[in-house]
Structures are given as C-alpha cells and as structure tokens.
A = this chain, B = another copy of it.
Amino acid sequence: MKMKVRVEIDLQELIEKGDFKTLKRVLEQQDPADVKEMIEKLPPDLKIVIFRLLPKDKAAEVFSELEPDDQMELIKLFREERLKEIFESMDPDDRVELLEEMPANVVKKLLSYLSPKEREEILAILNYPKDSAARLATTEYVELFEDMTVQEALDRVRREGKRKENIYSLMVIDRTRKLKGTVELRDLIIAEPNQKVSEIMDKDPVFVHATDDQEIAAELMKKYDLIMLPVVDSEERLIGVITFDDIVDVIEEEATEDIQKMASMSATYTSYFHTPMWKLILKRSPWLVVLLLLESVNGNIISSYEKFLASIPVIAAFIPTMIGSAGNTGAQVSALMIRGFTLNEVTVKDWWKVLLRESLIGSTLGLILAGVLYLRAFLISSDPTLNFAVATALLVLILYANVMGALLPFIARVLKIDPAFMAGPLLTTIVDVTGIMIYFYVVHSFLT
C-alpha cells in the first residue's frame, strides 16, 4: 500500500487525446514496478509511447521487468538510439537475463552498444551455464582493500554509491581480485574512522562459485539471511554479487517447477499467458501419452480376468474406487516427501525412518478407509463376502500406495532424477497398474 490516493487512469484515452503532459506527470510518480503493471496489457505501439515519456533509468527498469515476448516486440519497435540508451542503463544482471532470451541477431546488435570492457564482462558471464549462480551476478558493488581505514572505505562508498546500487555489503579483495572478506555497511558505519577494514571485516564470508546452481545460492542467502552474496570464479577471484531480491525469484521458480513436475509436465519457466499454446501442448502431451500407455497395461490385466468378470460383473464397479483411493493416498504422501526434500527437512538417509512412519500411517489410513468402504459397498452389492473381499483389497492397496508414494521420491533422488516427477500422475499410474493386480488377485482368491 502507498499513502497517496489511488485513482484509475485511462492511459489509452490520455494517449489518444495526446495529453502527454498529464501522462508524463502521472508516470513520474510511479515506481517502475507500477509502470510495468500499468502498461503490461497495452498493445505494443502504445507501450512505445509510454516508454518515450519515461526517463532512461526508469525506462530501463520497466523494460527489465517485462516478459521476454513483450521485450522482443519492443526491441523491434524502438528507434536505434532509444534502444541503445535503455540497454546501457540496464543493470548488468538484467542485461544477462535479456540476452539469454533473445535470438542471436538481437544479441549481436545489443552487444554492439556496450564498451569493449562491458562486452567482455557480459560474455564471460554468458559463458557460465544457464541456471548457474554467475547468471544472477551483478557487477554493481563496491570493492574495498584490507589496508584501507574505515574513513577511506566510507569515502569510497560515498563516492561510488552514487553509481552503484548495492552498497549494504562491501567486498574486500586483494590486488589479484581474490575475495578476502566482506564488510557490512552497518559495521562500517558504527566503527571508529581510523580502524582498518581488515579489523572489522568478516574474514570467512559465505560465497558461491560461479558454476554453482542458482538454488545453492538461494539456499545460502536464505540460511544466513544475506543481503548480498559474493560470486567467485574457479580461482576464487570475485566476479560479481547476487542481491537479495534475486533469490525470491529463484525460490518461486523452484516452487513452480516442483508444482509443474508434480503434475507430470515439463516446467514452462514463462508465465501462463506468455507461454504459447503449442508450447503447452508440447510440454504436456508426451507425458500424457506415456502415462496412457502405462495405464493401458491395466486393460490387459483386467481382460485376462474376462471370465471372472462375466460371472461377477459388479467386481468392475469397485475399480475406480480402488485405484482412485490408492492414487489419492500416494499423492498426499509424495507431496509431503517432495516438499520435505526441497526444504531440506528430509534427506535420503532418512529413508528407513520414513518407511517405518509411513507403514504405520498407511496401515491406519487403510483400516479407516476399508471400514468405510465395507459399509458403503452394501449400497452396491448385497454380498457380504464380496464386500469383505473388496475392503480387504483396499486395505492392502492403501498401505502399498502409501509406502510407494513415500519411497519413490527417495529412489528418484538416488537415481538423480528430480523427486517432483514421482508425484501425482506418474505415481498414480504406477500404483494403478500394480493396484489392479492386487485387487483382482485378492478378490479372486476370496471368491473362487
């Protein structure tokens, strides 16, 4: 919430009326994040008008926050000088993010706007793998040396802080750019002016290697509550810093990925309306086909009991309840495990503890559900033996599904597959196929 009064403004109308003065005044008062929200849904040619009215720094920030498909369209429409101006004003890490998404010819054009030194820096970062910590790093930080006094350090922060955005944690390096420590601005401010930086710096700071995964960076920043995290290359030379606002994005992306994988689809990485339909179909259909083929094995199992079924067709009436309940049970426990892995609450070593717990829980849930089904079954069949057989099969199935749902994520982890894939649909399908076998085997033994 902000203190100012909220008013609804019809941007489109202002533009059509040509009232650029009001428009400019309104835009001046907005944060870049607000401008982004205001213009997101406008057609590209109106977006261009808005961009023309923004000062270049704000334009760069707004542009950085747009989705890649919108950025692409604007790049085509900007005049050359305007594009250059915006690209030059962007934060180094936002530039990297933009270049990652653009086609080669656009990348080439954009790189030509930079100084040779900046170009070299950005190409070095683009050499690191996608999703590596290096890709999040910005070079907008302040460097100090160990032998500086607190006064000298503060003077430098004051001087460089005008241009460089991230000054709340300061990087202490030696002449070869090796990271020697970090100083919190807070400690610098409360220290005596003639103390040495080496006396107040943290000599054992947390850092990541450039090739480490972004998730490692996010976890470290979360664990130690860091505002900035230094990134070093293989020779421990400082190449940049990751700032606290980036890790929220990493954590959200990770959760989205988990959720999408748990629903048996490949992760999309772009937001729903910015993912084209053909891409969604491509991310979803291979999984659905594989699961269909797996599930259809049930067809063969069931048809092998054709005679049994023809004699007691009501057996078929319980198939959906059997596989449905087993699937639900498995979905619950696998969600618990997968989230446990993501949040480091559960590790592979805990498998036997989980097996024990979930066997007990599975038995209890199985007894509850079998009891309910036994009673409910009389509304479908009046044969108590049949209903008892069906309830017994469900008890076995629930215990089985609960243990499978708990252990498959562990197996995935050992096989270096993302445990998130072992949830929902995939798990349900695996449990279905074996579940149908268990069901027919149990019921067949009871009734023949």
Contacts and interface: CB of A to CB of B under 8 A. Distances in A.
A296 B373 contact: yes
Contacts of A224: 31, 33
Interface string A139-179: 00000000000000010011001100001100000000001
A429 interface: yes
A91 to B, nearest CB: 11
Given A4-B204, A339-B260, A372 B227 contact: no
A292 B372 contact: yes
A361 interface: yes
A313 B306 contact: yes
Contacts of A207: 1-3
B369 A288 contact: yes
Interface stretch (A50-58, A95-103, A377-385): A377-385
Given A1-B207, A306-B313, A320-B302, A331 B288 contact: no
B306 A324 contact: no
Nearest to A291: B328
A206 B335 contact: no
Instruction: List the number of copies, as a whole number.
Output: 2
Contacts of A343: 252, 256, 271
Interface stretch (A71-79, A105-113, A279-287): A279-287
Interface residues of A, number: 124
A161 B272 CA distance: 45
Contacts of A1: 206-209, 212, 220
A25 interface: no
Interface string A203-225: 11111110010000000101111
A342 to B, nearest CB: 8
A324 B340 contact: no
Contacts of A288: 325, 328-329, 332, 365, 368-369
Contacts of A258: 255, 259
Interface string A289-313: 1011101101110110011011001
Interface in A353-388: 353, 357, 360-361, 364-365, 368-369, 372-373, 376-377, 379-381
